[in-house]
Amino acid sequence: MTPPVPAADAPADRRRELRADCSACAGLCCVLPAFAASADFAIDKPAGRACVHLTPDAHCGIHADLRQRGFPGCTVFDCFGAGQRLVQVAAVERPVADPGVAAAFPVLRQLHELLWYLTEAAGLPLPAPLRAEVADLTGRTEALAAGGPAALAAVDAAAVRAGAGELLGRVSAAARPGGRDRRDADLVGAVLRGADLRRHGLRGAYLIGADLRGADLRGADLLGADLRGADLRGADLTGALFLTRPQVAAARGDGATRLPAALERPAHWGAAAPVRTRRPRRPGGRGGAAGR
Ligand code: SF4
């Protein structure tokens, strides 16, 4: 068996770039998709029409109050940086009105999401042949993502994702030795409070509304897991694999929820709980008022 290769020489984590920068975009995600009035969006909106809350300078007029105003779906959506990249590449006066941009946007978003996973995979301690496969697919995906709107629109994104899914499955298996496989498990509303789910393969699992309070999800594979409304308060997701911002933002958490280093805590979860440090013991005492 080929020995695992340390991740010390892994490429710099590109995931910092794979995030939406609305200040460099043109409001593509507020114009191009259609919305149906639901718990996620307070209004109906046809594809190609600007949201009523989009300002003339392509900013959200209710950004600070999206959840309170009935638009939690907008806090969950993430283009993985595809929007600002496409606006720069297309170089047209009104990107939101350009049919080529409209066709290319969902494709580039999928490619950027895939690059998020592949970048994470490249940093894992994997056997050398597997790492080489990850590097190869990363290069090919980067090449596709670098195309202009017409080239992007011609990409068969579903086929690219299918091939990547197979590779990421093998990456997951190599990175979670001994982990139980619960792929695509129906765990909707499951009570998993305090459960030991370390290194579990929960890829594609339905965890909608699951009670995961205090659960130990360290090293679990959560690629594509549906975490909408899942209660992650106090859960530990340190080192969880293939977790994304949209998944986290769709779940419920609190200051005690621990996330992988690449992910920020959603604002609606509240501040992180302070890290507890042990007080040095006083010589001859037990510390605190009881020991005085
Ligand atoms: S509510 Fe704001 S973020 Fe959501 S679609 Fe409208 S303008 Fe965009």
How many angstroms does the Cα of residue 54 sit away from the middle of ligand 1? 6
Region 90-99 average pLDDT: 92
Nearest CA to ligand 1 atom 1: 53
Residue 15 binned pLDDT confidence (cut-offs 50, 70, 90): confident
pTM for the structure as a whole? 0.87
Average pLDDT over residues 23-44: 94
Name 70's Cβ contacts closer than 8 Å, sequence gap at least 6: 41, 42
Q: Is 28 in the pocket of ligand 1 (CB under 6 A)?
A: no
Q: Is the CB of 87 under 6 A from ligand 1?
A: no
Closest residue by Cα to residue 259 from 270, 246, 268, 272: 272
Domain extents in the chain: 12-175, 178-273
Distance 57 CA to ligand 1 centre (A): 13
Start-to-end Cα distance in the chain? 60
Residue that the structure tokens 């580039």 belong to: 108
Mean pLDDT of 246-257: 96
Min mean pLDDT across 120-134, 184-198, 265-279 is at 265-279
Per-residue pLDDT at 2 = 35
pLDDT of residue 142: 96
CATH number of the structural domain 178-273: 2.160.20.80
Burial 93-121 (b: 16+ CB within 10 A, else e): eebbebebbbebbbbbbbbbbbbbbbbbb
Q: Please state the atom number of ligand 1 nearest to the C-alpha of residue 62.
A: 2
User: Which of 22, 54, 63 has the most ligand 1 atoms within 8 A of CB, as the residue to mutate?
Assistant: 54
Tell how far the Cα of 29 is from the centroid of ligand 1, in angstroms.
8
Share the mean pLDDT of the chain. Answer: 89
291 or 74, higher pLDDT: 74
Cβ-proximal residues to 33 (8 Å cutoff; 6+ apart), any chain: 47
Amino acid at 198: R
pLDDT for 171: 98
- CB of 51 within 6 A of ligand 1: the answer is yes
The pLDDT tens digits of the residues spanning 103-114 come to 999 999 999 999
1 pLDDT band, cuts 50/70/90, is very low
Q: Residue 271 — pLDDT band, cuts 50, 70, 90?
A: confident
Residue spans of beta strands (DSSP E) within 102-198 = 126-127
pLDDT band at 275 (very low <50, low <70, confident <90, very high): low
- Please name the residue whose Cα sits nearest to atom 2 of ligand 1: 60
Q: Give the Å distance between the CA of 55 and the centre of ligand 1.
A: 9
Which atom of ligand 1 sits closest to the CA of residue 74?
Answer: 4
**Alpha-carbon distance 49 to 46, whole Å?**
6
